[in-house]
Chain A
């Protein structure tokens, strides 16, 4: 039986945001199970049960494609994020998976130095222990508090 302590979940989130904020997104898909669900949506959509996301991936390979597109295909002005994540709250465990809710705040730093709050919200996760003994996301629904995205969403949240 996997242990889902706040410390382990906190370490998972710390590594996750470090990967994105330090521009090492190639390592980002590895935080997920091969069959997974990663969706970026809004609190309004989530409350209304509307399933579409700004980003929607149901395999780790789709997350890899996000990274490839970010690196090779999509055009955007250079910028980076700084994630601040709060304490993970374990809502329950079932079938070897923990349901976890964690608040986040993302500051976006543009090429010219402009720094502003880009997104806030909560991660609604289903966390499992992978075959390698590491915690992985079977599901990470990124529920943004605001319905608005400024300019574009290129780097994942």
Chain B
């Protein structure tokens, strides 16, 4: 979308990454352009876990942006993905969350597709009793839902509608790839799925995910128990174009003097607040590197988070200008001891829609969405940690949020 395409001279955005005009979160043309240029553009979108489609014939229904998608494992064991849209009248081909099948038949007129999304059967193609039917020139191979390229990284299945999207390893870059593989280092088991619908534009949620500055200020639970003080060792890794990021910290169980928090009397530094049952925090260093928190995002809408021994992936899907769906999948490893699995269950309290350190994220985007009503020509300020998108060894920075906008401006040509 070029500047001229917006047809509205008031819809301007100055160069650089330190200002974000609020109309970006409220504009229908922007939303529609994002579907085409970002989600259906040369990006990799998270579809599902390989563990969810382990066997030939297994499938899941999912989304790329708003577009419904079926992802399958075919008879040869290859990952396939195609639009969940019948080539006949556009109805959903699969109307379940997933399962196992030999093929798919659209319920409307029983057009039948194989596991690669090829049309294999048209009901009554030759008519009935010699009457009706498709014209002789109808070719099934000319009709099929759009097919996606698929790629798998550490058991995560991604899809792209773009023929020219770079290979997934190149798209992610070594630093991001390494940190995905750090967590997803062996076969996983799904231990729960939750969906959360939040009342704001999808970009506000992605910014929140990438915003390492807010974590210990909004989420007081972390701060109080020394899980996430900004003064602890940690940092932010921003990929080359800013599209992806990793924020991490290492936990010190020793309380640290922290004058910045106390002198500014920040809300997140309450005195004398202790857990009645601290067993939830008795996790183990299962990856052996002392990193107790790693939040990783892949543009445009994927998050892998490790918080102590909780491991969860999030699929972020736009569902309207001011509505976003988060699909949470909680993971364990197939070789978990009963004790470690129980610890994951206890620590699941930290994350998700009711998470001690994440529930605020479900609401704060809505506070912005409502706060900016009538302020299309005002703009957000992103100057914490400078104006760049470089990797930093501290988390008092908005570098990775600026990185999001750098990538976004590139895809949107805006």
CB < 8 Å neighbour of A44 from B193, B344, B355: B193
Say yes or no: B218 contacts A75, CB within 8 Å.
yes
Q: Which residue of A lies closest to B360 (CB)?
A: A75
**A44-B193, A61-B277 known; A52-B345 Cβ under 8 A:** yes
Among A40, A62, A76, contact of B280 (Cβ-Cβ < 8 Å): A62
Closest Cβ–Cβ distance, residue A101 to chain B (whole Å): 21
Nearest to A151 among chain B residues (CB) is B362
Segment 27-78 of A: residues with Cβ below 8 Å from B: 40-42, 44-45, 50-59, 61-62, 64-66, 68-69, 72-77
Please give, as numbers and ranges, the residues of chain B lying within 8 Å of A64 by CB-CB distance: 276-277
Asked if B352 is an interface residue, CB under 8 A from chain A, the answer is: yes
The interface of chain A, by Cβ under 8 A from chain B, is: 40-42, 44-45, 50-59, 61-62, 64-66, 68-69, 72-77, 147-154
Q: How far is the CB of A42 from chain B (nearest CB, A)?
A: 7
Interface status of B373 (Cβ within 8 A of chain A):
no
Other than the given A74-B359, A152-B196, A153-B354, 12 more pairs (CB < 8 A) read: A50-B190, A52-B344, A52-B345, A58-B346, A59-B279, A65-B275, A65-B276, A74-B220, A76-B363, A148-B197, A149-B197, A153-B359
| A57 → B minimal CB distance (Å) | 7
B208 in contact (CB, < 8 A): no
Q: How would you classify the secondary structure of chain A's contact residues: helix, strand, loop or mixed?
A: mixed
How many Å from the CB of A26 to the closest CB on chain B?
12
Known: A61-B276, A74-B356. A151 touches B192 (CB 8 A): no
Q: B194, B198, B277, B279: which has the most chain A beta carbons within 10 Å? A: B194
Chain B min CB distance to A143 (Å): 13
Q: Which residues of B contact A50 (CB under 8 A)?
A: 190-193
In the bound complex, what is the Cα–Cα distance between A77 and B277 (angstroms)? Answer: 26
